Amino acid sequence: MDDGFHALDIVFFAVVAVFLILRLRSVLGKRTGNERPPTRWNNGPKPATDNVVDLAQARKPVDAAEPGIAPAGPISPGEAAISARDPSFSGETFLAGARMAFEMIVAAYANGDKKALRPLLADQVYQPFCEGIDARARAGEDLNCELMGIRSAEITEALLVGTVAQVTVRFVSEQINVVKDLDGRILEGDPSRITPVIDEWTFSRDTRSKDPNWQLSATRAIADDPVEDEA
């Protein structure tokens, strides 16, 4: 009897996993016959990035902000250029998919799930992420990263470099990050502290490809800035 319920549980979670992947594909990329694949942001004249996201440490504290996707404003020249190459591109729809990708990538990295990360990351990001996971394993450390919510997500830059579309999104999220040893002792962080974190992630795809999916091609953690208290 217990084996039967166990088998049903496995089937249920498998169905949920497939649904999430299909949902992510539908919002980050839609196939029209003229599509393009995931690539990188290092291919063009882009600002400097780390290519490795620091998920274990808190970044810039921020003031309270309304949660959700930033309201759509005038389309930028970069977004217009991408839309001209790919009529299915929509900033608002892209942001919905980017939020979902952010949640999945943060969770997979914290869990050390390389298999889940592989289709979501470009090569130059996947390798450092794997190195970070392996380094934790060698040190006998466990990263607990709980994403409490995404306050906001907004497109800060959109470029078409040759045929490669590059869209940078600034995420303001609330996280609890704790590093423990294998015995459960806390090495870093506070499990009771929710920290506002700002990240800028760039997603890329080649507009010549029939693959509609985008990949995370660069990451940057915003440096800490002093916060002045109001009088």
Q: 211 pLDDT band (50/70/90 cuts)?
A: confident
Side chain identity at 146, as an amino acid letter?
E
**pLDDT surpassing 50 at residue 31:** no
Reported as type and span, the H/E element at residue 104 is helix 91-111
Domain architecture of the chain: domains with CATH: 2-221 (3.10.450.240)
**pLDDT surpassing 80 at residue 52:** no
Q: What angle do CA 103, 109, 112 make, to 5 degrees?
A: 135
Q: Which pTM does this prediction carry?
A: 0.68
What are the backbone angles phi and psi of residue 170, rounded to the nearest 5°? -95, 120
**pLDDT surpassing 90 at residue 132:** yes
- The arithmetic mean of pLDDT across residues 101-125, rounded, is 96
**pLDDT surpassing 50 at residue 104:** yes
For 23, residues 6+ apart whose C-beta sits below 8 A from its C-beta are: 100
- Round to the nearest angstrom and report the end-to-end CA distance of the chain: 65
Determine the distance from the C-alpha atom of residue 74 to the mean position of all C-alpha atoms in its chain, rounded to a whole number: 24
Model pLDDT for residues 134-192, shown as the tens digit of each residue: 999 999 999 999 999 999 999 999 999 999 999 999 999 999 999 998 888 999 999 99
**pLDDT surpassing 70 at residue 30:** no
